[in-house]
Structure 1
Amino acid sequence: MNRVFWGAAFALVFAAGCAQTQRAADTTLAAAKAQVNPTLSTTDATFMTTAARGGLAEVQMGQLAQRNGRSEAVKRFGRHMVEHHGRSNQEMAALAQQKQITPPGTMGAEQQRIYDDLSKLRGGAFDRAYAQAMVQDHQEDLRLYQEEAANGTDPDVKAFAARHVPLLQEHLRMAQRLPRR
């Protein structure tokens, strides 16, 4: 294995450890937003903020996969992410407007670090690191959406999450089949 791949793999694992910090920041931001819209719980607002950041990251990383990937499977998956998460992002923006919340305009710090690490890779090294990142990311997204679908308090936000669970399950299956050699 080359050093670039292991460096990227280490960075991805490190970034995953920063997820707790990002979630805490999202919770604080969501709490402030919930005060603007007192009918939306902090939990629902946090979900919306976290999901919006994740959706933006999926689109940008999907675009990167189309440029830096070697295998056609990775490039096709990247196109799929841009298309599906692009539509989901539009739905989220409409829901946020309805709930009087301004969704974040950028991906989170953790996602930005992963994007930056991936952007330094090309070909097979990119394919392996991207596949690993997408499996981990979709596992986390799936847990987030399932939790909101089961326990959300706002019926619209809860329904949004529930509608997207099957799509995220499919994305996870697709990511798990990406080339890793």
Structure 2
Amino acid sequence: MRRIALGAALALGLAGCAATQQAADTTVAAAKAQVNPTLSTQDATFMTEATRDGLAEVAMARLAEKYGRSPAVKRFARHMIEDHGRANQEMLALARRKDITPPETMGVAHQQTHDRLANLRGAAFDRAYVRTMLEDHQDDVREFQAQVRDGTDPEVKAFAERYLPVLQEHAQQAQRLARR
């Protein structure tokens, strides 16, 4: 019973950290949008969240290369490093053009997931990593779809349009891995 209560308290605490991080990102994005008035708060928030997500995808994929057991999971991780690494570089260039400073870290929620994965090995790592990638990419697809639909800055919107199919493919790959 104490384990259940402790688990529930931990889950609530993590949810609170994620909500706090998201609120902080939105506040920072609003401030960045004020520095660059041509960039809406929504566009700046998208850039911030996409940067954090991209940094997290690469960091967790590096863990998969190191701690994963399945060759398929390791191939998927290599694909994540290449695709998200390329997107991260493009986002940094876009941020420079928009005169905003993107976040340098993956944020609290992603860091907690990363740390949890770093304590796993072999098949247990593979299962947790694939589940995390599936959930993350499903969230990313929704965020990128919203940006494509509602974004106002043409360059930020074009970035989302360019990488949405990549993220959809990643979600499909993760889903196939999860079924194995």
Provide the TM-score with structure 1 as the length reference: 0.89
Matched, 1:62 2:61: yes
Question: Whole-Å Cα distance in 2 between the matches of residues 35 and 171 of structure 1?
Answer: 34
Question: How much has 1:18 moved relative to structure 2?
Answer: 4.7
Aligned identity (percent) is 65
For structure 1, which runs of at least 5 residues remain unmatched after alignment?
1-6
Question: How much has 1:38 moved relative to structure 2?
Answer: 1.0
Alignment of 1:32-181 (within 5 A): 32-179=31-178
Question: How much has 1:20 moved relative to structure 2?
Answer: 3.3
Question: Whole-Å Cα distance in 2 between the matches of residues 49 and 55 of structure 1?
Answer: 10
- 3-state SS, counterpart of residue 153 of structure 1: coil
| Residues 1:64 and 1:92: Cα distance change in structure 2 (over 3 Å) | same
Question: How much has 1:22 moved relative to structure 2?
Answer: 2.4
| Residues 1:68 and 1:180: Cα distance change in structure 2 (over 3 Å) | farther
- 3-state SS, counterpart of residue 177 of structure 2: coil
Cα deviations by residue, 1:37-84 (Å, 9 ceiling, x for unpaired): 111000000000000000000001011100000101111111110000
Question: Whole-Å Cα distance in 2 between the matches of residues 12 and 55 of structure 1?
Answer: 24
Question: How much has 1:19 moved relative to structure 2?
Answer: 3.8
Question: Whole-Å Cα distance in 2 between the matches of residues 58 and 111 of structure 1?
Answer: 9
For structure 2, which runs of at least 5 residues remain unmatched after alignment?
1-6
Q: Is 1:127–1:179's contact at 8 Å kept on the other side of the alignment?
A: no
| Residues 1:179 and 1:13: Cα distance change in structure 2 (over 3 Å) | farther
